[in-house]
Homo-oligomer: A and B are copies of this chain.
């Protein structure tokens, strides 16, 4: 059995686990990130967790490498976390620092790329030659896996579909550009729009449910629930987000001709509410030859997606998956 360890470093929690070569989770652990303690403390905690998982693994065999998914900008070849806003990291050579502590090869990359890799190899994209994956969460990002190989592009920056300029969108994005897809079509973009509309006096079910200070607690799941109960505002926002994602994906798909599009991330939990309009707009804008062959599916892994992706990624980078 080919055992590798995957780590998913979030702003709130670190999740660490071991999988076999097929993405089956053997062991896992979760601890608070406590990013405010600084990167040395966080890396120390990751090393401890990897050590503990390693001990618990005894019966299943020794892990051979570790993959660590880090949010934000990562240089996977140099092993450097270039910028991770919610961790407060800038230019941290995380792969080297962790490898010294752990005594195993450590590979880092952007968490989205690992997630899509996991889905392509051992999830909803399994068996397809060209997998285009998109995560709709706090932001929107994509990755491409061809014949089992991740596509990186210049400086490993490929996949920034969330910052494609969309017509009819005029919100300023955190990146400095205006009209980026993720400002309105990500999970947080949908929530932001709902809050704005409610603050501006929009009435309806959502307004009743989240009156006053309750508005701060409004989540993407609440939008789905309100849409199911007939709220117009929630439906408008989710449908538009689906259509905009479908539109950005249509442009990407005609350029790349994938076999399958895998939709993941928190936004995918909206299910057919979002995917219905996404598919409809996507197929409407595709050339017929593309329309007929292209499937759109949701990601298979949810809770363990981070571990599965990063551990399979470790196997990939260390040459165990060829």
Contacts and interface: CB of A to CB of B under 8 A. Distances in A.
A291 to B, nearest CB: 11
A-B CB proximity, top 4 nearest? A153-B257, A167-B167, A157-B257, A160-B254
Contacts of A239: none
A163 to B, nearest CB: 5
Q: Which of A154, A155, A293 has the most CB of B within 10 A?
A: A154
A161 B130 contact: no
Interface in A183-209: none
Interface of A: 73, 129-130, 142, 144, 146, 151-161, 163-165, 167-168, 175-177, 247-248, 250-252, 254-259, 285, 287-290, 293-294
B287 A160 contact: yes
Interface of A is mostly: mixed
Q: Which of A153, A157, A250 has the most CB of B within 10 A?
A: A153
A247 B176 contact: no
Given A160-B290, A161-B255, A167-B168, 19 more contacts: A129-B154, A130-B153, A153-B258, A154-B259, A155-B257, A155-B289, A157-B257, A158-B255, A158-B256, A158-B257, A160-B287, A164-B250, A164-B254, A165-B251, A177-B287, A248-B251, A251-B251, A251-B252, A255-B256
Contacts of A130: 153-154
Contacts of A161: 251, 254-255
A123 to B, nearest CB: 19
A285 B175 CA distance: 11
B287 A153 contact: no
Contacts of A146: 151
